[in-house]
Amino acid sequence: MRRIVRFGLPFIIVVAGAIWLNNTSLWSSQRAGLTRLAHRGLAQTYPASSLTATTCTAARIFPPEHSFVENTLPSMRAAFAAGADIVELDVHPTSDGQFAVFHDWTLDCRTDGHGVTREHSLAELKKLDVGYGYTSDGGKTFPLRGTGTGLLPSLDEVLATFPDKRFLIHIKSNDPEEGRQLAGRLKSLPESQLQRLMIYGGALPVTAVRQSLDVATMSGTTLKRCLMRYFLLGWSGYVPSDCERSVILVPVNYAPWLWGWPNRLLNRMNEHHSEVFVVGRYDGEDFSSGIDRPDDLRLLPAGFAGGIWTNRIDRIAPLLQDR
Protein backbone atom coordinates (compact mmCIF):
# COMPACT_ATOMS: atom_id res chain seq x y z
CA MET A 1 0.00 0.00 0.00
CA ARG A 2 2.81 2.41 0.89
CA ARG A 3 4.56 1.59 -2.40
CA ILE A 4 1.36 2.44 -4.29
CA VAL A 5 1.08 5.74 -2.42
CA ARG A 6 4.76 6.55 -3.03
CA PHE A 7 4.31 5.79 -6.74
CA GLY A 8 0.92 7.50 -7.08
CA LEU A 9 1.79 10.84 -5.51
CA PRO A 10 4.66 11.68 -7.91
CA PHE A 11 2.48 10.59 -10.82
CA ILE A 12 -0.32 12.91 -9.71
CA ILE A 13 2.15 15.76 -9.30
CA VAL A 14 3.57 15.18 -12.78
CA VAL A 15 0.10 15.04 -14.38
CA ALA A 16 -1.07 18.16 -12.51
CA GLY A 17 2.10 19.97 -13.55
CA ALA A 18 1.61 19.00 -17.19
CA ILE A 19 -2.00 20.22 -17.14
CA TRP A 20 -0.90 23.49 -15.55
CA LEU A 21 1.84 24.02 -18.14
CA ASN A 22 -0.63 23.28 -20.93
CA ASN A 23 -3.10 25.88 -19.68
CA THR A 24 -1.14 28.65 -18.03
CA SER A 25 -1.15 32.04 -19.72
CA LEU A 26 2.25 33.01 -18.32
CA TRP A 27 4.08 32.37 -21.56
CA SER A 28 1.19 32.88 -24.00
CA SER A 29 1.48 35.64 -26.52
CA GLN A 30 -1.19 38.27 -26.15
CA ARG A 31 -3.14 39.87 -28.95
CA ALA A 32 -3.07 43.65 -28.99
CA GLY A 33 -6.10 45.56 -27.82
CA LEU A 34 -9.58 44.77 -26.60
CA THR A 35 -12.62 44.40 -28.88
CA ARG A 36 -15.69 46.39 -27.82
CA LEU A 37 -19.10 45.15 -28.96
CA ALA A 38 -22.01 47.57 -28.52
CA HIS A 39 -25.31 45.74 -28.03
CA ARG A 40 -27.92 47.33 -30.36
CA GLY A 41 -25.70 50.37 -30.88
CA LEU A 42 -26.07 53.22 -28.38
CA ALA A 43 -29.38 52.28 -26.82
CA GLN A 44 -31.68 53.07 -23.93
CA THR A 45 -31.10 50.67 -21.06
CA TYR A 46 -33.41 49.12 -18.48
CA PRO A 47 -33.30 46.91 -15.38
CA ALA A 48 -32.34 43.39 -16.45
CA SER A 49 -34.07 41.62 -13.56
CA SER A 50 -37.35 39.70 -13.83
CA LEU A 51 -37.46 39.75 -17.62
CA THR A 52 -39.66 37.36 -19.58
CA ALA A 53 -40.01 36.70 -23.29
CA THR A 54 -42.95 39.12 -23.43
CA THR A 55 -41.58 41.95 -21.26
CA CYS A 56 -41.86 45.33 -22.98
CA THR A 57 -38.45 46.71 -22.09
CA ALA A 58 -39.20 50.08 -23.70
CA ALA A 59 -41.80 50.63 -20.98
CA ARG A 60 -39.22 50.26 -18.17
CA ILE A 61 -36.18 52.20 -19.32
CA PHE A 62 -33.95 54.19 -17.01
CA PRO A 63 -34.34 57.99 -17.32
CA PRO A 64 -32.71 58.75 -20.70
CA GLU A 65 -29.16 60.11 -20.71
CA HIS A 66 -29.17 60.49 -24.49
CA SER A 67 -31.76 60.59 -27.28
CA PHE A 68 -30.66 57.60 -29.36
CA VAL A 69 -32.98 54.72 -30.21
CA GLU A 70 -31.47 51.25 -30.61
CA ASN A 71 -31.00 49.59 -33.99
CA THR A 72 -31.08 52.87 -35.91
CA LEU A 73 -28.37 54.40 -38.08
CA PRO A 74 -27.83 57.34 -35.67
CA SER A 75 -27.44 54.95 -32.72
CA MET A 76 -24.91 52.84 -34.63
CA ARG A 77 -22.99 55.91 -35.75
CA ALA A 78 -22.89 57.16 -32.16
CA ALA A 79 -21.72 53.75 -30.89
CA PHE A 80 -18.83 53.63 -33.35
CA ALA A 81 -17.93 57.24 -32.51
CA ALA A 82 -17.94 56.34 -28.80
CA GLY A 83 -15.41 53.56 -29.39
CA ALA A 84 -17.30 50.45 -30.48
CA ASP A 85 -15.44 48.04 -32.74
CA ILE A 86 -18.57 45.96 -33.46
CA VAL A 87 -22.28 46.75 -33.28
CA GLU A 88 -24.86 44.05 -32.60
CA LEU A 89 -28.19 44.43 -34.42
CA ASP A 90 -31.43 42.47 -34.82
CA VAL A 91 -33.12 41.56 -38.09
CA HIS A 92 -36.53 40.37 -39.27
CA PRO A 93 -37.55 39.45 -42.82
CA THR A 94 -40.30 41.66 -44.22
CA SER A 95 -43.31 40.73 -46.32
CA ASP A 96 -41.61 42.17 -49.42
CA GLY A 97 -38.38 40.17 -49.13
CA GLN A 98 -36.20 42.72 -47.31
CA PHE A 99 -34.60 42.55 -43.85
CA ALA A 100 -35.69 45.14 -41.32
CA VAL A 101 -33.37 46.08 -38.45
CA PHE A 102 -35.59 46.01 -35.36
CA HIS A 103 -35.54 44.11 -32.09
CA ASP A 104 -39.06 42.99 -31.24
CA TRP A 105 -41.16 40.21 -32.74
CA THR A 106 -44.16 42.58 -32.64
CA LEU A 107 -44.46 46.33 -33.12
CA ASP A 108 -46.75 47.25 -30.24
CA CYS A 109 -44.13 47.78 -27.52
CA ARG A 110 -41.72 50.27 -29.11
CA THR A 111 -43.64 51.81 -31.99
CA ASP A 112 -47.00 53.31 -32.92
CA GLY A 113 -47.66 50.25 -35.09
CA HIS A 114 -49.34 46.95 -34.35
CA GLY A 115 -48.91 43.28 -35.23
CA VAL A 116 -46.06 40.95 -36.07
CA THR A 117 -43.01 42.74 -37.46
CA ARG A 118 -42.35 40.31 -40.30
CA GLU A 119 -45.91 40.58 -41.59
CA HIS A 120 -45.29 44.15 -42.74
CA SER A 121 -43.45 45.53 -45.76
CA LEU A 122 -40.32 47.59 -45.32
CA ALA A 123 -42.18 50.67 -46.57
CA GLU A 124 -44.85 50.18 -43.88
CA LEU A 125 -42.23 49.76 -41.17
CA LYS A 126 -40.42 52.92 -42.23
CA LYS A 127 -43.52 55.01 -41.53
CA LEU A 128 -43.48 54.05 -37.84
CA ASP A 129 -42.08 56.01 -34.91
CA VAL A 130 -39.55 53.63 -33.31
CA GLY A 131 -39.22 55.94 -30.30
CA TYR A 132 -42.95 55.96 -29.57
CA GLY A 133 -43.19 53.52 -26.65
CA TYR A 134 -40.22 54.46 -24.46
CA THR A 135 -41.06 55.59 -20.95
CA SER A 136 -39.19 55.67 -17.65
CA ASP A 137 -42.07 56.73 -15.40
CA GLY A 138 -44.77 54.17 -16.06
CA GLY A 139 -46.31 55.98 -19.01
CA LYS A 140 -46.60 59.48 -17.59
CA THR A 141 -44.15 60.81 -20.16
CA PHE A 142 -42.67 59.47 -23.40
CA PRO A 143 -39.45 61.44 -23.94
CA LEU A 144 -38.51 59.85 -27.27
CA ARG A 145 -41.96 59.90 -28.85
CA GLY A 146 -41.91 61.70 -32.19
CA THR A 147 -38.14 61.42 -32.58
CA GLY A 148 -38.00 58.03 -34.28
CA THR A 149 -40.31 58.40 -37.27
CA GLY A 150 -38.67 56.94 -40.36
CA LEU A 151 -35.58 55.77 -38.50
CA LEU A 152 -36.12 52.00 -38.85
CA PRO A 153 -33.45 50.91 -41.35
CA SER A 154 -33.09 47.92 -43.61
CA LEU A 155 -30.08 45.66 -43.29
CA ASP A 156 -29.01 46.75 -46.76
CA GLU A 157 -29.00 50.39 -45.63
CA VAL A 158 -26.88 49.56 -42.58
CA LEU A 159 -24.30 47.67 -44.61
CA ALA A 160 -24.20 50.38 -47.28
CA THR A 161 -23.81 53.13 -44.66
CA PHE A 162 -21.02 51.35 -42.78
CA PRO A 163 -19.21 49.22 -45.40
CA ASP A 164 -15.97 49.08 -43.41
CA LYS A 165 -17.48 48.33 -39.97
CA ARG A 166 -18.06 45.06 -38.14
CA PHE A 167 -21.52 43.78 -37.16
CA LEU A 168 -22.98 40.89 -35.20
CA ILE A 169 -26.34 40.08 -36.81
CA HIS A 170 -29.02 38.53 -34.61
CA ILE A 171 -31.64 36.35 -36.30
CA LYS A 172 -34.72 36.55 -34.08
CA SER A 173 -36.50 33.41 -35.26
CA ASN A 174 -35.78 29.69 -35.50
CA ASP A 175 -36.91 29.47 -39.12
CA PRO A 176 -34.29 27.84 -41.39
CA GLU A 177 -35.73 29.64 -44.41
CA GLU A 178 -34.82 32.94 -42.80
CA GLY A 179 -31.23 31.75 -42.54
CA ARG A 180 -31.17 30.77 -46.20
CA GLN A 181 -32.71 34.11 -47.18
CA LEU A 182 -30.17 36.05 -45.13
CA ALA A 183 -27.27 34.05 -46.54
CA GLY A 184 -28.50 34.69 -50.06
CA ARG A 185 -28.65 38.40 -49.41
CA LEU A 186 -25.18 38.56 -47.85
CA LYS A 187 -23.53 36.55 -50.63
CA SER A 188 -23.58 39.63 -52.86
CA LEU A 189 -21.27 41.52 -50.49
CA PRO A 190 -17.57 41.88 -51.25
CA GLU A 191 -15.62 39.17 -49.43
CA SER A 192 -13.78 41.76 -47.35
CA GLN A 193 -17.08 43.13 -46.03
CA LEU A 194 -18.59 39.69 -45.52
CA GLN A 195 -15.69 38.69 -43.29
CA ARG A 196 -16.52 41.61 -41.00
CA LEU A 197 -19.87 40.02 -40.17
CA MET A 198 -20.84 37.44 -37.55
CA ILE A 199 -24.28 35.87 -37.15
CA TYR A 200 -26.14 34.33 -34.23
CA GLY A 201 -29.68 33.30 -33.33
CA GLY A 202 -31.89 30.23 -33.56
CA ALA A 203 -30.19 26.90 -34.22
CA LEU A 204 -31.97 26.16 -37.50
CA PRO A 205 -31.40 29.47 -39.34
CA VAL A 206 -27.84 29.68 -38.03
CA THR A 207 -27.13 26.19 -39.38
CA ALA A 208 -28.54 27.27 -42.75
CA VAL A 209 -26.27 30.33 -42.78
CA ARG A 210 -23.25 28.26 -41.80
CA GLN A 211 -23.86 25.86 -44.68
CA SER A 212 -23.78 28.75 -47.17
CA LEU A 213 -21.33 31.30 -45.80
CA ASP A 214 -17.85 31.09 -44.32
CA VAL A 215 -18.53 33.42 -41.38
CA ALA A 216 -18.48 33.00 -37.61
CA THR A 217 -21.85 31.88 -36.24
CA MET A 218 -23.42 30.89 -32.94
CA SER A 219 -26.71 29.59 -31.57
CA GLY A 220 -27.71 28.90 -27.99
CA THR A 221 -27.31 25.20 -28.71
CA THR A 222 -23.79 25.44 -30.12
CA LEU A 223 -22.69 27.83 -27.37
CA LYS A 224 -23.80 25.49 -24.59
CA ARG A 225 -22.11 22.50 -26.22
CA CYS A 226 -18.95 24.48 -26.83
CA LEU A 227 -18.62 25.68 -23.26
CA MET A 228 -19.61 22.41 -21.60
CA ARG A 229 -17.32 20.25 -23.72
CA TYR A 230 -14.44 22.66 -23.39
CA PHE A 231 -14.92 22.76 -19.62
CA LEU A 232 -14.68 18.96 -19.53
CA LEU A 233 -11.85 18.42 -22.03
CA GLY A 234 -10.14 21.74 -22.59
CA TRP A 235 -7.41 20.91 -20.07
CA SER A 236 -5.86 18.79 -22.81
CA GLY A 237 -5.90 21.62 -25.35
CA TYR A 238 -8.88 20.06 -27.14
CA VAL A 239 -11.25 22.57 -28.79
CA PRO A 240 -14.73 21.12 -29.55
CA SER A 241 -16.10 21.50 -33.06
CA ASP A 242 -18.91 23.71 -31.72
CA CYS A 243 -16.21 26.20 -30.68
CA GLU A 244 -14.84 26.48 -34.22
CA ARG A 245 -15.69 29.47 -36.45
CA SER A 246 -17.91 30.69 -33.69
CA VAL A 247 -18.93 33.60 -31.50
CA ILE A 248 -18.33 32.58 -27.89
CA LEU A 249 -20.12 34.50 -25.14
CA VAL A 250 -18.76 33.89 -21.64
CA PRO A 251 -20.23 35.38 -18.43
CA VAL A 252 -17.54 37.35 -16.61
CA ASN A 253 -18.06 35.38 -13.38
CA TYR A 254 -17.62 32.03 -15.18
CA ALA A 255 -14.69 32.93 -17.43
CA PRO A 256 -11.92 32.15 -14.88
CA TRP A 257 -13.13 28.54 -14.74
CA LEU A 258 -12.36 27.94 -18.42
CA TRP A 259 -9.09 26.17 -19.19
CA GLY A 260 -6.35 28.55 -20.27
CA TRP A 261 -8.09 31.72 -19.14
CA PRO A 262 -7.34 34.27 -20.35
CA ASN A 263 -4.57 34.30 -22.98
CA ARG A 264 -4.23 30.58 -23.69
CA LEU A 265 -8.00 30.31 -24.13
CA LEU A 266 -8.15 33.35 -26.43
CA ASN A 267 -5.29 32.03 -28.53
CA ARG A 268 -6.86 28.58 -28.86
CA MET A 269 -10.18 30.00 -29.99
CA ASN A 270 -8.50 32.45 -32.34
CA GLU A 271 -6.61 29.56 -33.95
CA HIS A 272 -10.02 28.00 -34.65
CA HIS A 273 -11.34 31.26 -36.15
CA SER A 274 -13.54 32.11 -33.16
CA GLU A 275 -13.88 35.21 -31.02
CA VAL A 276 -14.54 35.27 -27.28
CA PHE A 277 -16.72 38.03 -25.80
CA VAL A 278 -17.18 38.46 -22.09
CA VAL A 279 -20.74 39.37 -21.08
CA GLY A 280 -22.07 40.46 -17.69
CA ARG A 281 -22.52 38.28 -14.61
CA TYR A 282 -24.79 35.29 -15.11
CA ASP A 283 -26.98 34.41 -12.14
CA GLY A 284 -29.18 31.76 -13.72
CA GLU A 285 -31.76 34.20 -15.07
CA ASP A 286 -30.49 36.76 -17.56
CA PHE A 287 -27.78 36.17 -20.17
CA SER A 288 -27.98 39.55 -21.90
CA SER A 289 -26.38 41.78 -19.28
CA GLY A 290 -23.14 43.35 -20.38
CA ILE A 291 -19.92 44.82 -19.10
CA ASP A 292 -21.70 48.03 -18.22
CA ARG A 293 -20.22 49.21 -14.90
CA PRO A 294 -16.75 49.86 -13.50
CA ASP A 295 -17.25 46.89 -11.15
CA ASP A 296 -17.70 44.63 -14.18
CA LEU A 297 -14.43 45.85 -15.71
CA ARG A 298 -12.56 45.08 -12.51
CA LEU A 299 -13.39 41.40 -12.98
CA LEU A 300 -11.39 41.31 -16.22
CA PRO A 301 -7.69 40.42 -15.99
CA ALA A 302 -5.19 43.22 -16.55
CA GLY A 303 -4.37 43.65 -20.21
CA PHE A 304 -7.35 41.53 -21.32
CA ALA A 305 -7.27 41.29 -25.11
CA GLY A 306 -10.54 39.51 -25.86
CA GLY A 307 -13.92 41.04 -26.54
CA ILE A 308 -16.48 42.60 -24.24
CA TRP A 309 -20.23 42.89 -24.78
CA THR A 310 -21.63 46.15 -23.43
CA ASN A 311 -24.96 47.94 -23.34
CA ARG A 312 -23.23 51.19 -22.35
CA ILE A 313 -20.45 51.81 -24.82
CA ASP A 314 -20.68 55.52 -23.92
CA ARG A 315 -19.76 54.76 -20.30
CA ILE A 316 -17.37 51.85 -20.76
CA ALA A 317 -15.16 52.99 -23.65
CA PRO A 318 -13.68 55.97 -21.73
CA LEU A 319 -12.86 53.70 -18.79
CA LEU A 320 -10.96 51.31 -21.07
CA GLN A 321 -8.50 54.04 -22.00
CA ASP A 322 -7.06 53.78 -18.49
CA ARG A 323 -6.53 49.99 -18.61
Model pLDDT, residue 50: 77
Model pLDDT, residue 283: 74
Task: Please report which residue ranges of the chain form alpha helices under DSSP H.
Answer: 2-23, 73-82, 122-126, 155-161, 176-186, 191-194, 203-212, 220-233, 263-271, 294-297, 313-320
Residues 6+ apart with CB under 8 A from 107: 113, 114, 115, 116, 117, 120, 125, 128
- Please state which of the four CATH numbers 3.40.50.720, 3.30.1300.10, 3.40.190.10, 3.20.20.190 is assigned to the domain occupying 29-320: 3.20.20.190
27 has a pLDDT exceeding 70: no
Model pLDDT, residue 25: 72
Asked if residue 191 lies in contact with residue 222, where contact means CB atoms within 8 angstroms, the answer is no
Q: pLDDT grade, residue 204 (50/70/90)? A: very high
pLDDT digits (tens, 9 = 90+) for 227-251: 999 999 999 999 999 999 999 999 9
Which amino acid, one-letter code, is at 100? A
pLDDT digits (tens, 9 = 90+) for 147-172: 999 999 999 999 999 999 999 999 99
Sign of the dihedral through C-alpha 254, 35, 191, 188: positive
Mean pLDDT in residue range 57-79: 97
Q: pLDDT grade, residue 118 (50/70/90)? A: very high
pLDDT digits (tens, 9 = 90+) for 76-94: 999 999 999 999 999 999 9
Mean pLDDT in residue range 21-40: 78
CA angle 32, 302, 260 (to 5 degrees): 80
Q: pLDDT grade, residue 259 (50/70/90)? A: very high
Query: For the chain, which residues make up each domain, given as ranges?
Result: 29-320
Top pLDDT among 286 and 197 is at 197
The whole model's pTM is what?
A: 0.94
